[in-house]
Amino acid sequence: MTLSFFDQFMSPTYLGIPLIILALSLPWVLYPKPPARWLNNRLITLQGWFINRFTQQIFQPLNLGGHKWAAILASLMLFLVTLNMLGLLPYTFTPTTQLSLNMAFAVPFWLATVIIGMRNQPTHALGHLLPEGTPTLLIPILIVIETISLFIRPLALGVRLTANLTAGHLLIQLIATGAFTLLPLMPTVAILTAALLFLLTLLEVAVAMIQAYVFVLLLSLYLQENI
């Protein structure tokens, strides 16, 4: 029984073909493309409003140099939100519960921000490794600590997204299993458990959106430090 709880996080295959490729390509099929007409329908209007609000919220503290990242970070936000939300549907697979996939998102974006900082402002970028006014004896220790914290950033991005989604899916499955087990024995307790499961599902929907937002927000903060 313990192993079956973690079977939902295994990457499914069909005829030897990993279905994670299909899961990753599905979000780009769901979103409609803006037509050439002057007036859009309600769905495209809502989609454009959401993207505009998100870009304003994320890029308001950044200077004009960071606004070049608006398209790619907004696309990443929509991509992660869609993957997280589709994973809450029954009999589906959540690719963002795989640490390897999340690290594949986190490492290139983090490395791009570091390279931009080293290329444009090398003195300012290296200055983050040593705070101003540090005592002489603490300089080597602080440089090592700040360097380690710099390289831990992409790992923290990937682990945070993986851990939050994995914990939520496991908790939903545990409570759902308990509700089905208690139904013939204690119907009242099973109904209360099902109500708790419904509230937990709503919470997991919020977590799916918030974690995607936090992922992109932290990337924008890393970008802000290096431009």
Is residue 104 in some structural domain? yes
Q: Are 97 and 103 in contact (CB under 8 A)?
A: no
pLDDT recorded at residue 18? 75
Is residue 2 in some structural domain? no
Is residue 163 in some structural domain? yes
Q: How far apart are the C-alpha atoms of 209 and 115, rounded to whole Å?
A: 29
Adjacent-strand bridge partners of 18:
13
Q: Are 219 and 227 in contact (CB under 8 A)?
A: no
Q: How confident is the model at residue 7 (pLDDT cuts 50, 70, 90)?
A: low
Is residue 168 in some structural domain? yes
**Domain range for 202:** 7-226
State the chain's mean pLDDT as an integer: 83
pLDDT at 108 over 90: yes
* Range 171-179 average pLDDT: 86
pLDDT at 37 over 80: no
**Which residue type, as a one-letter code, is found at position 40?**
N
Q: Are 128 and 142 in contact (CB under 8 A)?
A: no
* Range 197-225 average pLDDT: 90
pLDDT recorded at residue 40? 73
* Range 113-136 average pLDDT: 80
Pairing relationship of beta strands 13-14 and 17-18 according to DSSP bridges: antiparallel
Q: How confident is the model at residue 6 (pLDDT cuts 50, 70, 90)?
A: low
Q: How far apart are the first and last CA of the chain?
A: 51
pLDDT recorded at residue 38? 72
pLDDT recorded at residue 8? 66
pLDDT at 78 over 80: yes
pLDDT at 1 over 50: no
Residue whose C-alpha is closest to residue 101's, from 118, 87, 117? 87
Q: Are 64 and 72 in contact (CB under 8 A)?
A: no
Question: How many structural domains comprise the chain?
Answer: 1
pLDDT recorded at residue 100? 87
pLDDT at 203 over 50: yes
Is residue 1 in some structural domain? no
pLDDT recorded at residue 5? 65
Distances (CA, A) of 218 to 3, 58, 82, 153: 34, 10, 19, 9
* Range scoring the smallest mean pLDDT among 8-12, 157-161, 164-168, 204-208: 8-12
* Range scoring the smallest mean pLDDT among 11-15, 84-88, 156-160: 11-15
Highest mean pLDDT among 22-31, 77-86, 117-126: 77-86
Dihedral angle over CA of 187, 191, 194, 196, nearest 10: -130
* Range 156-180 average pLDDT: 88
Is residue 119 in some structural domain? yes
Radius of gyration of the chain (CA): 22
pLDDT at 94 over 80: yes
More confident residue, 81 or 130: 81
